[in-house]
Amino acid sequence: MTSFFDVLIGGVFHASVLFLVAAGLQLVFGVQRIVNLACGSFYALGAYFGITAVNWTSAHGAPPWTFLPVLVGAGILLGAIGPFIERLLRTVYKRDEAFQLLLTFALVLMFQDVLRFFWGANPQQLGNLSMSYGKVALGEVSFPTYNVLVMAASLAIAVALGVFLRRTAYGRVLRATAENREMAEALGADVRGIYAIVFTLGTVLGTVGGALVVPTAAASLDMPVELVVEAFAVVVIGGLGSMRGALAGALVVGLTRALAISFYAELEVLAIYVIVIVVLVARPAGLFGKPVE
């Protein structure tokens, strides 16, 4: 029973982080119609930079408990690269989506060496900081408080995003732009500004996701390309462009992975992609997506 609970917690923790990255992917696809392969690179950048930031603050005498806000702050700070990359992507907005996809692939290649240049080829770790928050006991099972905090943070971000998109005036303009770019532009929406903001927000979701994962896992150069594989599974299962889909897809992928790893490790990615294909056969647009064509 305890072990099953551990698997469950591990899965949901993984899902919380995946959700953040996938939400960024969905936001950018929903509004800009660009599938961003570089989402994994943002995630890895957040992870590496998070490690550096925590090491730096603790070297300057910050108490251990500050690491969570430092990580989140580091992730948000990295959002500063968003507008520059958006500027680069702006050159291909009117082109075929094959070119957009390829430009983000070029970013993946370039970021791979940016990470190598700044942090070297060896994996980096934060040590066992996640345990400095202690454990939460629930009856006879217990789990790290840090994991619970991350799940809560991810859920809070999900709610905040939902409120932002559904309830605020800017969120409505944003959704209108996603629905019909020309019409929104004709009605006076600042599409350029919206694209810059949306892409930056997508970047921040990725970098914060990456920063939050480093207390529990090492940051390595394989991170960007490996994450893309899972993030894609999430958005396809959930339906491209749907936020609810990102949440559902992240839970499916996170739990599947956790279950597969603990019961039959060979099936890790295989199980995820079998689900992807089953979902696509049964519901071509994904669980929450709009029908294709």
Partner 1 sequence: MSGRPRYAALVAFVVAAIAVLAIFPRVAQPYYVTLVLPAFAYAIALLGFNLLFGTTGLLSFGHALFVAIGAYAAAVMTSKLGIKSFELILVVAGAVAVIAAVPVALLAVRYVRIFFGILTLAFGMLFHSFLFKFYNLTGGDTGIRVLRPTLLGQDWKELDKTAFLIGPFYYACLVLAVVLGFAMWRIVRSPFGLHLAAIRENARKAEYLGVRVRLFRLIAFLISAFYGAIGGAILAVNTGQADPELAYWTHSGELVFMTVLGGFANFFGPLVGAFTFIFLKSELMGATQYWRFFLGATLAVIVIAFPRGLMGLAGDLWKKAVRR
State the residues that interact with partner 1 by CB under 8 A: 35, 37, 88, 91-92, 95, 97-99, 101-103, 105-114, 116-117, 225, 228-229, 232-233, 236, 240, 265-270, 273-274, 276-277, 280-281, 284, 292-293
Provide, rounded to whole angstroms, the least separation between the CB of residue 105 and partner 1. Answer: 5
Q: What are phi and psi of 91, to 5 degrees?
A: -65, -20
Q: Which is nearer to partner 1, 102 or 217 (CB)?
A: 102
Q: Which is nearer to partner 1, 38 or 47 (CB)?
A: 38
Residue 176 burial by CB count (10 A; 0-12/13-18/19+): exposed, middle or buried? middle
Provide, rounded to whole angstroms, the least separation between the CB of residue 36 and partner 1. Answer: 11
Provide, rounded to whole angstroms, the least separation between the CB of residue 280 and partner 1. Answer: 6
Q: Which is nearer to partner 1, 76 or 102 (CB)?
A: 102
Strand-pairing partners, residue 19, are: none
Cα 199 to Cα 31, 116, 171, distances in angstroms? 9, 24, 14
Which residue is listed with tokens 């998070």? 50
* Closest to 246 measured CA to CA, from 27, 36, 7, 76: 27
Provide, rounded to whole angstroms, the least separation between the CB of residue 81 and partner 1. Answer: 15
Residue 248 burial by CB count (10 A; 0-12/13-18/19+): exposed, middle or buried? buried
Q: Which is nearer to partner 1, 173 or 223 (CB)?
A: 223
CA 17 – CA 154 distance, rounded (Å): 7
Provide, rounded to whole angstroms, the least separation between the CB of residue 277 and partner 1. Answer: 6
Q: Which is nearer to partner 1, 113 or 179 (CB)?
A: 113
